[in-house]
Amino acid sequence: MYTICYTKSMNNYKITVQYNGKNYSGWQIQDGKDTIEGRLSIAIKAVTGKDIKVVGSGRTDAGVSAIAQVANFLLDADWDCQKLIKAINAHLPNDIAVLDVQLAEEDFNARFSAKTKTYNYYFYVSSERNPILDQFALQVKYAEIFNMQSACKYLIGTKDYKSFVARNSGKTDFTRTIYSAEINQVKDNLYVFEICGNGFLYNMVRIIMGTLISVGEGKITPIDIQNIIKSKDRTKAGKTVPAVGLMLKCVSYK
């Protein structure tokens, strides 16, 4: 006589999600608010019949979009990944879509396993509104792009970025590592600021962008970025630019 014992562990699905955040109160589920996490949970429940917790790589703020946000969820059912993409997408609104589903290792956690995040901020330079670009980019009336590009190098490194955090962040550790920061021309008067780091503080990318715009406008010089970081004083940095141009581009894992 013998007994066969086995434990069926939960399947851990890693999903890649793209969304236009314009009409949402950000990623995180909040009572009475329409959120990306909320919409995904509803769609996954509609497909699987289960109440599951979707773990995102991080929260994106109200109005912020994502080209490839990563999340994961545990499910005690076997689903073919390709079928799961189609099934979930059928229950999502047009401005949210699952691009990919993969079966991940048991211990994969979209938040804690994340190594780097890359954000893009799109802006265009024009004295007049450009209604087509306004859909996903910020208007900057005047900018010396070369100076903004020069300023980027001062952002790189492991530093205390307290100057670039919203005052109500609730954090006490402001040290992060920025691996790269650059501004590239996309097409004509459209540019993108791309920044990659091991993590970002609340509103950090938007405050950095506002500060780079001050450089572009000639209000401060590129090297002033160094002094602003050293000051650890939010009031020395530029404005928090609107969410419209901000997109989480990708999240990398080991």
42 touching its own copies, by CB under 8 A: no
Among residue numbers 171 through 200, which ones bind its own copies (CB under 8 A)?
186-187
Residue in 29, 67, 103, 145 binding its own copies, rule: CB under 8 A: 67
What is the closest distance, in whole angstroms, from the C-beta atom of residue 241 to its own copies in the complex? Answer: 18
Tokens, residue 107:
């211990």
CB 100 within 8 Å of CB 69: no
61 is catalytic: yes
What is the closest distance, in whole angstroms, from the C-beta atom of residue 167 to its own copies in the complex? Answer: 30
Among residue numbers 123 through 142, which ones bind its own copies (CB under 8 A)?
126, 128-132, 134-136
DSSP states along 93-146: -TTEEEEEEEEE-TT--TTTTEEEEEEEEEEEE-SS--TTGGGTSEEES---HH
Nearest to 208 by CA among 173, 180, 170, 168: 180
- The smaller minimum CB distance to its own copies, of residues 141 and 239, is found at 141
Catalytic residue among 31, 51, 61, 233: 61
x/- track of binding to its own copies for residues 18-37 (CB under 8 A): xxx-----------------
User: Which residues are known to be catalytic?
Assistant: 61
- Residues in touch with its own copies (CB under 8 A): 18-20, 65, 67, 85, 89, 94-100, 126, 128-132, 134-136, 186-187, 247
